[in-house]
Structure 1
Amino acid sequence: MNPYSVAPAKEKSVTTTTPVPQKSGLVLFWAVTFTTTFAFWLVAIALGGSAMSSPTVILYLLGGFGPVFGAIAVRVRRARRSQPAPTHTVRLRLTARLLWVLPLLVLASATVLAAALLAELLGGPAISFTAGQSLIATAGGPVPFFVSMLVAGPLAEEPGWRGTAYPRLRASMSSLQAGLLLGVIWAVWHLPLFFISGTVQAAFGLVSWSGLLFTLSVIPMALLTCYAYERAGVAASIAVHLGVNATMALLSVNSPITQASILVVQFLVAITLLARQRERQAARPVDMAHG
């Protein structure tokens, strides 16, 4: 890091597929995701090099794609068995993606910025973009910076966590339950990063307030990305993930006060969005009945 239902029918852009009675490969997804990720990251730990230098950087990046490997395994098996996609899979047309992706990205970034301002008012560090500007310069400019932020995190993880695991969890859980469970699993998945030199997690330290707050903050971020997925599919969850990661990197968030503020703000925003979504779901049959 660096956190639903389908959109209303009137948008005419979201479609769901027919139900899949079996568990649709969740066990396979967990097995492939954790096996591949932990295998790469444990070797990286054994090598002892920095995550920013070769050859450790290669293992570090490949490990981050564990969720994508898991997603591929599930989809290959589903194709061989000619199974339909899960009921809660969200598919959107391009126009709908354009309508939702940018606002959700801005919202995600705003939660971090608002929390940083709140932390400053509470006595935390003042907001500064100095470290962020240095980070952009090190990356080679704004474009390489955002491309690296997009690949190492959002693109490497969202097709798996939200695009594959989440709709399958929703088969037997509410949006909130599925998001919370996925958040806990996502937090556990990050743990090896605390032992790879050069990562943000290693700089925090596992046994520290910053390390604890980072681990806990994965949960509300998961709720936000799951909400985004139900609004506009994987493209939207990628946007939220990118917005949070990039803003935290640009602000160089490392103060426990700021981390705690982000955790609280994102949790409140996620719960509010989920509550409003639940209200829309409850009202939809009534609207249809009177339509």
Structure 2
Amino acid sequence: MFRSDRKALVAFFVLTYVLSWTIWATALAFQNGLLDWRLPGDPLSYLAVTVAALTITALSAGSKGVKDLFRRMILWRVHVKWYLAALLIPGIPAVVAMVTYAALGGSHDVGALVPASAIVPLLLTQTLLHLLTEELGWRGFALPRLRARFGSLVAGVVLGLLWGAWHIPMFFVAGTRQTYPFLGFVVLIVSISVIMTWIFDRTRGSILIAALFHAAMNTWWAATNLLWGATSLFWIFVVATAATAVVVALVQRRGQEATLLPQAATSAASAY
């Protein structure tokens, strides 16, 4: 149905936005008294990414493309250092931000959101959630095609912007965690996308490792309460995360980009 990856990418993002934003729109209408019912944004808005990824993959790459997606969902045979990278790198800017904030005289309640006993269960449930939803679309479907067209660094930035924009309705829906400055969130999510692209390249397109990184990121954020503490702490954290992404970008520029993406993703970009 789609003659090029460009059309498939556009179709994926349009379908993802339409489905997710329609779900969030019912919540906005409900809270403003325009509807007396609402669709549950959690988990339907996340599952919308899954539906879009599987639908457009089937239409653009057929059963072979769908099988490749599922294969990369369980691609676990990667060097242990990438498991450690996925778990620990999201914590580097978090620790830097907290230390910097404390050195400047700030006081922060680290465990306000998540007790220590809940960290591992949160990490496991978040990994499963993002493996079955967001990462199947962002890193599973979109990133290989964006990378083939633009290269890793630009692909990471473009995906980060689109990923960040996808969250816009959540900043208006009551009861979500999107209560921090939107501009800072965009910088944060683009930086994270650049870092995740680097790891994705080196794990042969493993959606599993991407989901583990996403889960670790959310777990670090929740366990440290960084995004919901003082505004100054939030901005220190944004700067620290952006600095981490700059280091990754410099590594890529030195010619360290991997080329071992799955054959299906590489061949899908042959039209360019």
- Normalised by the length of structure 2, the TM-score is 0.77
Superposed, 1:165-180 pairs within 5 Å as: 165-180=142-157
Matched, 1:237 2:210: yes
Contact 1:129/1:250, CA 8 A, preserved across alignment:
yes
Q: Note closer, same or farther for the CA distance 1:85–1:266 as it changes in structure 2 (3 Å cut).
A: farther
Distance 1:59 1:77 in 2: 26
Q: Note closer, same or farther for the CA distance 1:23–1:46 as it changes in structure 2 (3 Å cut).
A: same
Contact 1:120/1:127, CA 8 A, preserved across alignment:
no
Amino acid paired to 1:32: L
Give the one of 94, 101, 106 matched to 1:112: 94
- Provide, for residues 127-150 of structure 1, a one-character-per-residue CA deviation record: whole Å limited to 9, x for no partner: 5224322xx78xxx4555334433
Give the one of 81, 92, 103 matched to 2:85: 103
Amino acid paired to 1:107: I
Distance 1:36 1:119 in 2: 40
- Provide, for residues 180-236 of structure 1, a one-character-per-residue CA deviation record: whole Å limited to 9, x for no partner: 1111111111010012111111x44xxxxx343223321111112222211222222
- Normalised by the length of structure 1, the TM-score is 0.72
- Provide, for residues 157-200 of structure 1, a one-character-per-residue CA deviation record: whole Å limited to 9, x for no partner: 11111111111111221211111111111111101001211111
Q: Which runs of 5+ in 1 are unaligned?
A: 1-19, 50-54, 205-209, 285-291
Distance 1:276 1:198 in 2: 39
Partner in structure 2 of residue 74 of structure 1: 56
Distance 2:192 2:144 in 1: 17
Amino acid paired to 1:231: R
Contact 1:97/1:236, CA 8 A, preserved across alignment:
no
Matched, 1:215 2:192: no
Q: Percent sequence identity over matched residues? A: 24
Partner in structure 2 of residue 275 of structure 1: 250
Structure 1 range deviating more: 231-240 or 93-102: 93-102
Distance 1:112 1:193 in 2: 23
Contact 1:108/1:240, CA 8 A, preserved across alignment:
yes
Partner in structure 2 of residue 264 of structure 1: 239
Amino acid paired to 2:208: A
Contact 1:32/1:70, CA 8 A, preserved across alignment:
yes
Amino acid paired to 1:158: E
Q: Note closer, same or farther for the CA distance 1:42–1:94 as it changes in structure 2 (3 Å cut).
A: same
Distance 1:105 1:99 in 2: 10
Superposed, 1:23-34 pairs within 5 Å as: 23=6, 25-34=8-17
Partner in structure 1 of residue 113 of structure 2: 131
Q: Which runs of 5+ in 2 are unaligned?
A: 260-272
Contact 1:213/1:260, CA 8 A, preserved across alignment:
yes
Contact 1:40/1:60, CA 8 A, preserved across alignment:
no
